[in-house]
Amino acid sequence: MTHAETLKAAGLTQAEITGGTLAVHSPIDGALVAHVHETNPVDMPAIIARSQEAFKAWRTVPAPRRGELVRLLGEELRAAKAELGALVTLEAGKITSEGLGEVQEMIDICDFAVGLSRQIYGLTIASERPGHRMMETWHPMGPCGIISAFNFPVAVWSWNAALALVCGDPVIWKPSEKTPLTAIASMKIMERALKRFGDAPEGLVQLVIGGPAIGEALVNSKDVPIISATGSTRMGGIVGPKVAARWGRPILELGGNNAMIVAPSADLDMAVRAIVFSAVGTAGQRCTSLRRLIAHNSIKDDLVAKLAKAYASLPIGDPRKAGTLIGPLIDAASRDRMLAQIAKARAEGGRVHGGEPTEGVAGGAYVSPALIEMPAQTDTVREETFAPILYVLGYETLDEAIFIQNDVPQGLSSCIFTLNLREAETFLSAAGSDCGIANVNIGPSGAEIGGAFGGEKETGGGRESGSDAWKGYMRRQTNTINYSAQLPLAQGVKFDF
C-alpha cells in the first residue's frame, strides 16, 4: 500500500491531512505525508470550558452506562484494527505485528474498563462510635488532560481515556507532534462510538494538536484537575511541578532504564529470546525496552556470544514487510543521539558490537542494534537513550547485581532470569528491585494491561492501566453516617455544654 492509501483506509480525509501547519513525516522513508491543522492556543480556554461543561453532565451518568460508551469504542476499534495498526506503522515506524498489537492493547483496556464500570467500589469501615457507619465513595474528578508520546501513539491515550471515561471524567488529548495522524484517526473511531451511544455530552472527548503552548494550557489550567503525561523525564520534570503547584494531580510515565539480571541457573535460550525482543523490539523505543543486561560473570561471555549471533541475523528494514523485526527510528535526530551515546560509551571503555547506520528504506533512519560490553555502570549507562542500545555488565553476587540494577535514576521495569527460588524471591522482595514492574523469567517490556503500569524515582510514580490505577482518576470521599440519637465524639473527647 502507498502512504496515501494507508491514510485513506484509516479514514483520514484530504481536508484533515492538507492545508495545516504541522508537517508529518513517515519514519519509514522520511516522506512528507500530511500537513495537519493545529489547535490555536487562544482556543484552549474554550476547549477546557467545554470539557468542564461535559463533566457536569457526565459525572451524573451511572458508571455502567458510561461503560457502554467504552464498550462501543472497543467494538469500533475491533472493526478498525487493521487500518489503525497500519497507520501506526506508517506514522511511528512500528513493524506490522507491533502496530496491530498496539491497537489490541487499546481493545484490551476497553474490555477492562467496561468491567470496571460495574466495579467502582469503596470500603465499608468499622466505626469506633456506636450507631455509626463509615464508608468510602469514589467520585469523578473532572477533565483529564492526556499528553502522549510518539512511541505508543494510541495505546497510551486509550489506557487513560478508557479509565477516565468510566470514572466520569471528560478527556482532552494532546498527542505527540510527531504522531497526530493516528490521533485524528483514533478520534474518528471514538466519534463513531459516541454517535452510537447517543446522548454523551458535547465535548466529552476532545483532541488538541500542537506544540508546547497547547500542552502548557492544559498543564496550567486549574480546570483540568488530572494531567496524565507520558514522555521524557525532562518533560515530566517541567509538567509535574507545574501541575502540583496549582494543586492538580499529575500522573507521570517518564523514562525507564530497565535491566535484566541473568543468574547462573538461568535458561539461557529463553533469556536470549527475551533479551532480543525487549532490547530491539520497537527499535528500542519503548519506555520498557531492555537497556541494561547484568549477567553473572560465569555465563556473561557465553551469553554475549549468543546475543551477538542473534543480533547479526535480525532482519532490519521496511516495517511493513513480513519478516522485518526492526523498523526505523522515529527520525534522524534520534539516530544521531544513538550514535553519540555509543561514541561516549566507547570512550568510557565500552566494547561495541553493531550500532551502525544501516540500509533500510531510503530516507528512513535505520540502525543495527548495539550491544555494548561495559567495564562499569558509567554515566552514559545511567542515561536513557531511546534507541536499541543494550549495555552489558558483569556481576559476582546477587546483592551486587541488585545494587547495580537499582543504581540508576529511573525505576520503571526490571526482571531476573533464574531457576533459583531464593534468588527470584529476593529480587521481588523489599530489598530487591526498586522498580514499578519486576518480572521473573520474562523480559521487562510488553506488559499486559491488567496490571498497574508505571514506575518509581525519575519514572514519575504514576500508575495507569489495570489493577486499581482507576483510583488515580477519581476523588475519594470518606463518609461517616450517624444513625443513632446521640452525638458521641471520636477519640473519647468530651464537649458537653
Residues that bind ligand UN1 (CB under 6 A): 105, 151-152, 156, 230, 286-288, 445-447
**3-state secondary structure (DSSP) of residue 51:** helix
User: 161 or 287, CB closer to ligand UN1?
Assistant: 287
User: 39 or 258, CB closer to ligand UN1?
Assistant: 258
Q: Are 148 and 230 in contact (CB under 8 A)?
A: yes
Q: Are 388 and 371 in contact (CB under 8 A)?
A: no
User: 145 or 231, CB closer to ligand UN1?
Assistant: 231
What b-and-e string marks burial along 232-243, b requiring 16 or more CB atoms within 10 Å of the CB?
bbebbeebbeeb
Question: Least distance from C-beta 220 to ligand UN1, angstroms?
Answer: 24
Closest CA to 165 of 186, 143, 185: 143
Q: Is 253 among the residues known to form the active site?
A: yes
- Give the separation between CA 300 and CA 312, rounded to whole angstroms: 18
Question: Least distance from C-beta 413 to ligand UN1, angstroms?
Answer: 7
**3-state secondary structure (DSSP) of residue 309:** helix
- Give the separation between CA 107 and CA 99, rounded to whole angstroms: 13
Amino acid identity for residue 151 in this structure = N
User: 103 or 156, CB closer to ligand UN1?
Assistant: 156
- Give the separation between CA 104 and CA 108, rounded to whole angstroms: 6
Question: Least distance from C-beta 157 to ligand UN1, angstroms?
Answer: 11
Residues linked to residue 394 through DSSP beta bridges, in sequence order: 295
Question: Least distance from C-beta 254 to ligand UN1, angstroms?
Answer: 10
Q: Could you tell me if residue 440 is left (phi over 0), alpha (psi between -120 and 50 degrees) or otherwise beta?
A: beta
Cβ neighbours around 349 below 10 Å, total: 12
Question: Least distance from C-beta 437 to ligand UN1, angstroms?
Answer: 8
Rounded to the nearest angstrom, the gap between the alpha carbon of residue 158 and the centroid of all alpha carbons in its chain is 10
Q: Which of 253, 373, 384, 423 is catalytic?
A: 253
Q: Which residues, in sequence order, are CB contacts of 420 under 8 Å at separation 6+? A: 263, 265
Question: Least distance from C-beta 160 to ligand UN1, angstroms?
Answer: 12
User: 226 or 229, CB closer to ligand UN1?
Assistant: 229
**3-state secondary structure (DSSP) of residue 70:** helix
Shortest Cβ contact with ligand UN1: which residue? 447
Amino acid identity for residue 429 in this structure = S
Catalytic residues: 253
